[in-house]
Amino acid sequence: MELREFAERVLFATTLEEKLLHPGIITDERPGLAVVTPAAPGRPPELSFKLTGTGRGDFPGTRHLERERARGQLLHFFANHELLATELMALVLVRFPEAPAAFRKGILQTLKEEQQHTRLYLERMQACGIHFGELPVSGYFWRMVSPMENPMDYVASLCLTFEQANLDFARHFADRFAAVGDAVTARLLEKIYHDEIGHVAYGLKWFRRWKHPAASDWEAFCRQLKFPLSPQRAKGITLNVAGRRAAGFDAAFIAELAVYSQSKGRTPGVFLFNPFAEARIAQGRAFNPTQHQAQLARDLENVPQFLGRQDDLVLVERRPSVAFLSGLKQAGFALPEFVEMKQPLARSDGEVGIRSLAQRKLGRLRPWAWGPDSVEMFDSLFAKLTGETRTASGSFNPEIAQLYSKAWSATLLRRISKSLHTSAATPSWLCPEHVVGVAVATLDQAREAIVAIRRRGHHPIVIKQAFGLAGGNAIRLFEPELLASHRRWIEKAFANGRQLVVEPWLDRVQDFSVQLEMAPDGLKLCGYTGLITDGKGQFLGNWAAPKFERRIPPSVIELFPAPPDIATRLHTLYADIFALLEVELRRVGFIGPVGIDAFVYRAGPGECRLKPIVEINPRYTMGRLTVELMKHVAPGCQGLFRLLSRKQALAEGGEDFAAYARSLTGQFPLRREGEPVARICEGALCLNDPAQAQVVLATFQVSRPPLK
């Protein structure tokens, strides 16, 4: 029989007997002309593909495998996959008759083995009381592979994707069947596993022959797959490294696959680290980050990966290294899909970076901060949203821009302070209204505010730009009169149309933050963190204590020896603040993360007071990042997040960031405990790649609180 005739029979026959029949001798002397891919292969009616999206015929899972019928249902699922592989191999033979004879011969041999696998599954299925076709069957493999445009597409999508994944699934399910005492099916799956190694090796051989010689196996594989296929489909429940080595994959390919992530169905969120949104709001397109600021943003561009869920996307200029991502995965963190916005090698279709997302459905857009820069970046993606309906104007508008202003935060605190201090019982632990910042727009107004504050006994003063960056854009006044340099700084700010906030410089004892999420159904508390700042109030790190998700840090509460119910009073105060803030956020249509910075200051000998709002950040913050990291921490443990400069790393004994990271993780190795999901109970890890970082390294250390 001619190979063409045999392939057509397998592809178009409407009985299983014809599809699974194999004649003795086959020749390939008349390949014929290429056929147009049919919408579906020929099949008996009971094996017609279920309608997409019906939810019927989904993977039955491994529950109740001790029951014979449950085992038969799982085998029914596997049998359909083997039959699909058989049909797709027949399709490639009639679709590409001009392919090399050796390639076609290999396809024939593999097809024969797939026919045998199908027959073996049918026998075991029937022994379990299930008949082929009594359950719905999926046509997913057919939809993903049959649009192939050349033999390279075939080996990439079927051999190197679905058959590679079966290296994991066959071995996994062989163990599961053995565990319930079904040794016959376990042996069958072991046989299929070993056959699949040969099938994948065959595909890899031809893939390497056809790919661009300058591209690695991994690079060529990623570029060859067409969405929605991705390398995520090439792996199963647990990555079987030994099987891949046996098939011929190199260590670099296996390592890349191990850390690769892309959603298999859930519409992903898109995260972006854009820390300069506030500066863009204040200065518009005139803002240009310094070299140091730009490098800091590049160093930390991956940190949104700790804010999202598995399968979400993170936009980066440069993907973290495989070694770094492998370490995070071993520490128990799910890895996102990284999309490089700047790639040295373009895909054949020219769609790279953020443009490649235009063909995908997206669940939500989550920049670090909504601002003009993130709206521009996401402009082409708003139409792809399925989980949200916001437009560009709805995600950011002038009223939302005002939420970033320290003047707006001061106004809100003034309202709260005024309402509380006019009540019958004035809280002695709360800051008085006169320490709240005053917004000014002229030099004369600034002088008047300074004089008024000093009349009340506060000599040191801080003047902040209403829009600033992490404690920057501010000056401190300790001298009796404004210096010429101070006047120039103030006048320059006003000349550039910037508002200033004048307030007393207070003797801070303990900084902390409140992390919130404004959702369509209201403002929700995410947790409390301690704040670490330097002498100028600039950010250094965060820490979180046990029960952070609902309790103000104990070290804050302890600063107020009276009244005895101070913890309850502080939580009640913040509940009132949350209610007021929620009204304001609803008014401007804001949805997303919100952080409130606060501190306790020394008002006199033995007297502390709370400034409950220093500023409000309508964006993600490092405090929110710490809260999300704490979800991976075992109960009863505390976490410390730090940002270290090169100078700090050197001072702590590291020649560079990589050396510091090795020392840190060597001194504090990770330990995890707990069931069913182990969480970190001790140890340290780096949150950005120390091998790539230039100016800043983010670290997270977990420990048990000291016994009191």
Which residue in 388, 353, 342, 427 sits closest to 611, CA to CA? Answer: 427
Residues 111 and 244 both lie in one domain: yes
- Does any domain span residue 280? yes
The percentage of residues in the chain with a pLDDT greater than 70, rounded to a whole number, is 94
Domain coverage including residue 154? 3-20+55-259
Which residue in 208, 255, 261 sits closest to 231, CA to CA? Answer: 261
- pLDDT of 534 higher than 90: no
- Does any domain span residue 264? no
Mean pLDDT of 285-314: 93
- Does any domain span residue 316? yes
- Does any domain span residue 605? no
- pLDDT of 349 higher than 50: no
Residues 208 and 327 both lie in one domain: no
Residues 254 and 318 both lie in one domain: no
Task: Tell me if the bond preceding 563 is cis, omega within 30° of 0.
Answer: yes
Give tens-digit pLDDT for 544-603: 999 999 999 999 999 998 899 999 999 999 999 999 999 999 999 999 999 999 999 999
Is the C-alpha dihedral spanning 91, 93, 96, 100 positive or negative?
A: positive
Residues 151 and 237 both lie in one domain: yes
- pLDDT of 678 higher than 60: yes
Give tens-digit pLDDT for 90-114: 999 999 999 999 999 999 999 999 9
* Residues 2, 108 contacting (CB under 8 angstroms): no
Which stretch, 340-354, 409-423, 673-687, has highest mean pLDDT? 673-687
Residues 89 and 157 both lie in one domain: yes
The pLDDT of residue 414 is 87
The pLDDT of residue 50 is 87
The pLDDT of residue 474 is 87
**Number of structural domains found in the chain:** 2
Q: Determine whether 86 is exposed, middle or buried from the number of CB atoms within 10 Å of its CB (0-12, 13-18, 19+).
A: buried
Range from 43-57, 104-118, 343-357, 650-664 carrying the lowest mean pLDDT: 343-357
Boundary (domain end) residue, out of 378, 396, 414: 396
Residue by residue, DSSP assigns 37-100 as: PPSS----GGGSBPPTTS-TT----STTTTSHHHHHHHHHHHHHHHHHHHHHHHHHHHH-TTS-
Give tens-digit pLDDT for 275-294: 999 989 888 888 899 999 99
pLDDT band at 419 (very low <50, low <70, confident <90, very high): confident
The pLDDT of residue 469 is 62
- Does any domain span residue 653? no
Q: How far is CA 112 from the centre of its chain?
A: 42
Mean pLDDT of 426-441: 89
Domain harbouring 133, CATH code: 1.20.1260.10
The pLDDT of residue 57 is 47
Q: What is the 3-state secondary structure (H, E, C) of 352-405?
A: CHHHHHHHCCECEEEECCCCHHHHHHCHHHHHHECCCCCCHHHHCCHHHHHCCC
Give tens-digit pLDDT for 602-611: 998 989 999 9
Residues 110 and 225 both lie in one domain: yes
Give tens-digit pLDDT for 35-84: 999 999 999 999 999 887 554 446 777 778 899 999 999 999 999 999 99
Residues 240 and 317 both lie in one domain: no
Residues 82 and 226 both lie in one domain: yes
- pLDDT of 344 higher than 70: no
Residues 183 and 297 both lie in one domain: no
Residues 321 and 242 both lie in one domain: no
Mean pLDDT of 639-660: 94
Give tens-digit pLDDT for 158-175: 999 999 999 999 999 999
Mean pLDDT of 434-455: 93
Residues 306 and 363 both lie in one domain: yes
Mean pLDDT of 423-446: 86
Residues 318 and 201 both lie in one domain: no
Distance from C-alpha of 74 to C-alpha of 70, rounded to nearest angstrom? 6
- pLDDT of 345 higher than 50: no
Give tens-digit pLDDT for 449-501: 999 999 998 899 999 999 876 545 889 999 888 889 999 999 998 998 889 99
First-residue to last-residue Cα distance in the chain: 85
Compute, in degrees rounded to 10, the torsion defined by CA atoms 215, 218, 224, 227.
-140
- Does any domain span residue 150? yes
- pLDDT of 185 higher than 50: yes
Boundary (domain end) residue, out of 259, 277, 309: 259
Boundary (domain end) residue, out of 226, 241, 259: 259
- Does any domain span residue 65? yes
Q: How far is CA 449 from the centre of its chain?
A: 46
Mean pLDDT of 188-205: 97
Kindly report the pTM of this predicted structure: 0.87
The pLDDT of residue 574 is 95
The pLDDT of residue 496 is 85
